[in-house]
């Protein structure tokens, strides 16, 4: 066997078990393989073998020139996958912090023209190049924290030209830096000021003008809707998503985040790949998602940052057989965090997920939530060599430590793209 990179001697090599044709759910949500003295062999951009160091060294051709990385005392994981982000945006919203501290609700700030709409103003003003520069910076921050693939939504343009500008920015950022970005069209993120009294007009604009352009230029894989009281109703969301599905896009939803209006049920009904947030999901919603196999993408960093009392009922979902993934929801308002390591901590402490369940939620199930599980999300022969090495003695340590970036090295498409000196 030939390889040009060998990672060896890992204290633990951790991955979801075997090739999984469907997202992991129920008991399998927490099934991982932990190999002591683990090794991964890489040729070009692919994994060619996974096993113990002794096993791989036996199988590898002698006298072949290759780089070897000694991962002694460290944990090797698949590159992390962040399946819900709003990574492209103009400006920032630190001025809303004082309102939050006065307990002004998120939806009230939005209704007063702030929140999402203040980011819309800044995003409309920004040029394509400016958006690319800033989102490239955020992507590189993600990479440095162990994320090798992320979803990226539009939704701060809310006009045809600005939505296309955002999606083109996502495409360009995907091209110029290592993190793979999977694009989602979120034209239905809020009602823009110019359509404040014309909901019907804006929905028609999305269906008749934006969606056809997005599809024609192949700028998105998914279509998403912010289905929420005071934003887009279940009925409006159904219309928008059905139109998108007819034009060939797959579906995602912001569902049941603040007010329970039946978003999860709609996601299941329409065969959406995922329903995201779900803090206030109903029992019926859980049952329908389990029945349809809809992935719950939970965003507990947002719950933390909005100072909500109630976290998504992750345990009930796992027990009911809903596959769970986790994401940062990186955005300038409700979650200005793009570090999945912090999501590991919050998910363990407040969603009461085990570290093993969380690892599957940010690797293989997250890859399923982006339709990429055949290529990424686990350490298996034939998959893309997207790998993170953490300066941690075991995987539980990642759930235990918080606030420190534990990344030691990131390998993307078989290349070492980031190396940290943690010994200083």
**Closer to ligand IZC by Cβ: residue 12 or 328:** 328
Size of the site for ligand IZC (CB under 6 A): 10
Q: Does 20 bind ligand IZC (CB under 6 A)?
A: no
Residue 88 CB, shortest distance to Zn ion, in Å, is 13
Does 262 help bind ligand IZC (rule: CB under 6 A)? no
Please, what is the minimum distance in Å from the beta carbon of residue 338 to ligand IZC? 13
Q: How far is the CB of 279 from Zn ion (least distance, A)?
A: 12
Provide the mask over 326-355, with x wherever binding to Zn ion is found by CB under 5 A and - wherever it is not.
---x--------------------------
Q: Is 334 in the site for ligand IZC (CB under 6 A)?
A: yes
What's the min distance (Å) between Cβ of 336 and ligand IZC?
A: 9
Q: Which residues contact 38 (CB under 8 A, 6 or more apart)?
A: 10, 12, 13, 50, 51, 52, 53, 71, 76
Residue with smaller CB distance to ligand IZC, 89 or 395: 89
Q: Is 319 exposed, middle or buried (0-12, 13-18, 19+ CB in 10 A)?
A: middle
Residue number, 28 or 331, with CB nearest to ligand IZC: 331
| Complete DSSP assignment for 103-158 | T--HHHHHHTT-THHHHHHHHHHS-HHHHHHHHHHHHHHHHHTTEEEEEEE--S--
Rounded CA separation 37/8 (Å) = 7
- Asked if 321 and 292 touch (Cβ cutoff 8 Å), the reply is no
Q: Which residue, 285 or 333, is less far from ligand IZC as judged by CB?
A: 333
- Residues 211 to 230 in contact with ligand IZC, rule: CB under 6 A: 226
User: CB-based burial of residue 130 (10 Å sphere; 0-12 exposed, 13-18 middle, 19+ buried)?
Assistant: middle
CA distance 365 to 372: 10
Identify any residues that bridge with 191 across adjacent strands, giving them in sequence order: none
Structure tokens, 359: 């690892």
Q: Rounded to an integer, what distance in angstroms lies between the CA atom of residue 160 and that of residue 195?
A: 13
N residues, the chain: 424
CA distances from 114 to 87, 118, 130, 302 (A): 19, 5, 22, 18
333 binds, among ligand IZC, Zn ion, none (CB under 5 to 8 A by kind): ligand IZC
In whole angstroms, the minimum distance from the beta carbon of 147 to ligand IZC comes to 19
Candidates 8, 86, 372, 409; binder of ligand IZC (CB under 6 A) is: 86
- Residue 180 interacts, among Zn ion, ligand IZC, none and using kind-specific CB cut-offs from 5 to 8 Å, with none
- The number of C-alpha atoms within 13 Å of 235 and in the hemisphere containing its C-beta is 3
Q: What is the DSSP string of 386-397?
A: -EEEES-SSTHH
Residue 232 engages ligand IZC in binding (rule: CB under 6 A): no
C-beta closer to Zn ion: residue 60 or 281: 281
User: Is residue 331 involved in binding ligand IZC (CB under 6 A)?
Assistant: yes
The structure tokens listed for 213 are: 């352009």
Applying CB under 6 A, which of residues 333, 355, 377, 414 lies at the interface with ligand IZC? 333
Closest contact distance (angstroms) between CB of 84 and Zn ion is 6
Q: Closer to ligand IZC by CB, 254 or 384: give it.
A: 254
Helix axes 160-176, 116-125, angle to 10 degrees: 80
CB of 84 to ligand IZC, least distance (A): 10
Binding partner of residue 115 among ligand IZC, Zn ion, none, CB cut-off 5 to 8 Å per kind: ligand IZC
Site for Zn ion in 370-399 (CB under 5 A): none
Query: What phi, psi does 100 have (nearest 5°)?
Result: -60, -40
Whether the Cβ atoms of residue 222 and residue 211 lie closer than 8 Å to each other = no
Q: Which is nearer to Zn ion, 36 or 259 (CB)?
A: 259
CB 394 within 8 A of CB 75: yes
Report the site for ligand IZC in 107-126 (rule: CB under 6 A): 115-116, 119
Count residues near Zn ion (CB under 5 A): 1
Residues of the shown chain interacting with Zn ion in the complex, contacts defined by CB under 5 A: 329
Residues of the shown chain interacting with ligand IZC in the complex, contacts defined by CB under 6 A: 86, 115-116, 119, 226, 254, 331-334
């Amino acid at each position: 066997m030939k390889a040009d990179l060998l990672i060896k001697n890992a204290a633990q090599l951790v991955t979801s078990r075997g090739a999984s044709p469907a997202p992991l759910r129920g008991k399998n949500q927490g099934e991982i393989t932990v190999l002591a003295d683990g090794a991964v062999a890489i040729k070009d951009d692919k994994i060619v073998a996974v096993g113990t160091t002794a096993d791989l060294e036996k199988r590898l051709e002698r006298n072949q020139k290759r780089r070897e990385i000694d991962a002694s005392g460290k944990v090797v994981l698949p590159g992390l996958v962040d399946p819900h982000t709003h990574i492209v945006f103009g400006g920032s919203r630190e001025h809303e912090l004082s309102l939050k501290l006065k307990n002004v609700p998120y939806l009230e700030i939005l209704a007063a023209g702030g929140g999402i709409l203040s980011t819309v103003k800044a995003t409309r003003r920004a040029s394509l190049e400016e958006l690319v520069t800033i989102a490239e910076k955020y992507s590189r921050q993600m990479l440095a924290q162990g994320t090798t693939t992320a979803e990226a939504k539009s939704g701060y343009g809310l006009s045809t030209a600005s939505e296309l500008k955002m999606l083109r920015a996502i495409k360009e950022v995907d091209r110029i830096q290592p993190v793979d970005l999977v694009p989602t069209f979120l034209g239905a993120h809020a009602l823009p000021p110019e359509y404040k009294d014309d909901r019907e007009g804006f929905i028609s604009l999305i269906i008749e003008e934006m969606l056809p352009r997005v599809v024609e230029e192949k700028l998105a894989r998914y279509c998403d809707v912010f289905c929420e009281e005071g934003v887009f109703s279940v009925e409006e969301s159904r219309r928008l998503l059905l139109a998108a599905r007819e034009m060939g896009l797959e579906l995602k939803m912001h569902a049941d985040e603040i007010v329970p209006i039946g978003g999860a049920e709609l996601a299941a009904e329409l065969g959406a790949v995922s329903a995201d947030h779900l803090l206030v999901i109903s029992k019926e919603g859980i049952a329908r998602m389990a029945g349809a196999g809809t992935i719950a993408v939970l965003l507990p960093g947002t719950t933390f940052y909005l100072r909500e009392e109630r976290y998504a009922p992750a345990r009930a979902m796992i027990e009911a057989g809903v596959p769970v993934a986790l994401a940062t929801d990186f955005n300038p308002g409700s979650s200005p965090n793009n570090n999945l390591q912090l999501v590991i901590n919050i998910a363990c402490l407040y969603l009461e997920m085990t570290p093993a369940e969380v690892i599957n939620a940010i690797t293989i199930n997250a890859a399923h939530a982006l339709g990429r599980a055949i290529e990424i999300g686990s350490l298996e022969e034939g998959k893309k060599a997207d790998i993170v090495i953490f300066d941690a003695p075991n995987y539980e340590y990642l759930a235990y430590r918080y606030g420190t970036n534990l990344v030691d090295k990131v390998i993307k498409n078989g290349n070492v793209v980031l190396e940290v000196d943690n010994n200083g």
